[in-house]
Amino acid sequence: MSFRQRYTGLIERYRDRLPVHDDTRIISLGEGNTPLIRLHNIPSMLGKNVDIYVKYEGLNPTGSFKDRGMTMAVTKAVEEGSKAIICASTGNTSASAAAYAARAGITAFVLIPDGKIAQGKLAQAMMEGAVIVQIMGNFDDGMRLVKEVAVESPVTIVNSINPFRLQGQKTAAFEIVEELGRAPDYHCLPVGNAGNITAHWIGYSEYACGEAESVTAACTLCQGHCRFAGAITGQRPKMVGYQASGSAPFMRGKMVDNPETVATAIRIGHPQSWDQAWIVNKESGGWFDECTDDEILEAQKLLAEREGVFCEPASATSLAGAMRDIKSGKIEASSTVVCTLTGHGLKDPDTAIAQSTAPVVKVEAKLDQVKKAIHDNLG
Ligand code: AN7
């Protein structure tokens, strides 16, 4: 009998494309290798001939795409002798940092905005033994403080300003190209700090690079970490970034000081990868746009109801925007579109339950009443 080789995470899988050595101790929870699900019902609802795939990053070990970056960042922090990591977070980064720190046997400090993170994420960080610092401020305040404190204290920052984070996250693009056999025409993502859209562009670019003998066009985004730096010979998608209207600095063309949105994961007004994201925008020929909270929640619900895929509100921003741009024709017919679903729906049960209109029928524990409930609700 033969067994398929055990999957042991994205660093092992893409070792030759990541900054690790043969003897590097890899801190992994088996992240990556997430499903790319082809939507069946939503495209026909839109009445357009497009192929929409969702990359379900909510199925990573801690339920979000952050694990791709965190396995790399924590692996490198440990390699460099760090005993503690720190991040500011709207929730998912803290859950991921806490888990990988626990795995590595080091300490995680997480700065979270008081009262503005989803329950699931808080539960994770608490269970995984992080030191939780709740600040009376938002993510952007936390990020500023993290940068300041790291100057003096022996802690490694694991927010996406840590270049190893983007190196890990670029592997999502590799998986997509390998599965589709080519890059999609459009790749849509929710944008907060814009680290993930930048990481995907690095990934697609690296994959589309010829293996040049000499470096002809050094990548402006990867900060020297890409192994391949030849001229771009392959196809790359247009990168489309969607923000929540109440926290859409890329649409305003400037930082937003008091960001608000139901999609707390992307309640970010001062994106850390501002310059990089504009480069991605320009190089890929894509665009930024915004979605209202109502559009975001509607897309979240539609995806769950029509396709059985449950993502958190921020994640649905990619689909909300894509659906609008497909309907308007901005995303042309016959295109292949990938939408990243950055986090799992279970992260934020409160928002889900609050907006659900699912028929909850309360009955006595009697056969006739259950029968009636079925009869009344048969589609
Ligand atoms: C579900 O956890 O910034 O544009 O501190 O959790 O790369 O910032 C989360 C970001 C999208 C935005 N979707 O990604 C944090 C944090 C979900 C997220 C984003 C986040 P970036």
Give per-residue pLDDT as tens, 314-373: 999 999 999 999 999 999 999 999 999 999 999 999 999 999 988 889 999 999 999 999
Pocket lining: 277 vs ligand 1, CB cutoff 6 Å? no
Per-residue confidence (pLDDT) for residue 270, from 0 to 100: 98
Q: Report the 3 state secondary structure along the chain.
A: CCCCCCCCCHHHHCHHHCCCCCCCCCCCCCCCCCCEEECCHHHHHHCCCCEEEEEEHHHCCCCECHHHHHHHHHHHHHHCCCCEEEEECCCHHHHHHHHHHHHHCCEEEEEEECCCCCHHHHHHHHHCCCEEEEECCCHHHHHHHHHHHHHHCCCEECCCCCHHHHHHHCHHHHHHHHHHCCCCCEEEEECCCCHHHHHHHHHHHHHCECCCCCCCCCCCCCCCCCCCCCCECCCCCEEEEEEEHHHCHHHHCCCCCCCCCCCHHHCCCCCCCHHHHHHHHHHHCCEEEEECHHHHHHHHHHHHHHHCCCECHHHHHHHHHHHHHHHHCCCCCCCEEEEEECEEHHHCHHHHHHHCCCCCCCCCCCHHHHHHHHHHHCC
Pocket lining: 317 vs ligand 1, CB cutoff 6 Å? no
Pocket lining: 241 vs ligand 1, CB cutoff 6 Å? no
- Compute the average pLDDT of residues 2-6: 76
Residue among 60, 64, 68, 112 to mutate when testing ligand 1 (max atoms within 8 A of CB): 64
Give per-residue pLDDT as tens, 10-47: 999 999 999 999 999 999 999 999 999 999 999 999 99
Ligand 1 atom at minimum distance from 347 CA = 1
pLDDT bracket for residue 161 (50, 70, 90)? very high
89 pLDDT exceeds 50? yes
Pocket lining: 266 vs ligand 1, CB cutoff 6 Å? yes
Q: What is the dihedral of CA 106, 164, 248, 335, to 10 degrees?
A: -130
228 pLDDT exceeds 90? no
229 pLDDT exceeds 60? no
Per-residue confidence (pLDDT) for residue 5, from 0 to 100: 85
Give per-residue pLDDT as tens, 274-287: 999 999 999 999 99
CA 263 to centroid of ligand 1, rounded, Å: 10
CA 49 to centroid of ligand 1, rounded, Å: 30
Pocket lining: 315 vs ligand 1, CB cutoff 6 Å? yes
Question: Cα angle vertex 341, ends 319, 208, to 5°?
Answer: 95
Helix axes 195-207, 171-180, angle to 10 degrees: 50
217 pLDDT exceeds 50? no
- Compute the average pLDDT of residues 233-244: 94
CA 136 to centroid of ligand 1, rounded, Å: 20
215 pLDDT exceeds 50? no
